[in-house]
Amino acid sequence: MWGRMLSCARLLIGLAGFAHTLPGGLSNPPQVGNLPHFDAPPFFKIGIASIGRLLYSLPMEVRAEIPPGTLYMLILKTLMRMGPLHGYGIAQHIQQTSGDVLRVEEGSLYPALQRMLIKGWVSGEWKQSENNRRARFYKLTPAGRKQLAAELAEFERVMGAIARVIQPA
Least-confidence region, from 13-22, 116-125, 144-153: 13-22
pTM for the model:
0.63
Q: Where do the structural domains in the chain lie, given as residue ranges?
A: 2-57, 71-166
User: What angle is formed at CA 79 by the lines to CA 78 and CA 80, rounded to 5 degrees?
Assistant: 90
18 close to 42: Cβ distance less than 8 angstroms:
no
CA distance 75 to 112: 9
Got the DSSP string for 31-46? Answer: P-TTS------GGGGS
Decide yes or no: CATH 1.10.10.10 for domain 71-166: yes
For residue 41, give Cα distances in angstroms to 4, 15, 37, 90, 100: 24, 10, 13, 46, 41
pLDDT at 134 over 70: yes
pLDDT at 126 over 80: yes
For residue 32, give Cα distances in angstroms to 28, 35, 40, 54, 65: 12, 6, 11, 26, 46
Q: What's residue 18's pLDDT?
A: 38
pLDDT 10s digits, 56-103: 444 555 557 888 889 999 999 999 999 999 999 999 999 999 999 999
- In the chain, the N- to C-terminal Cα span, in Å, equals 38
Alpha helix (H) ranges present in 23-141?
48-57, 71-82, 87-97, 106-119
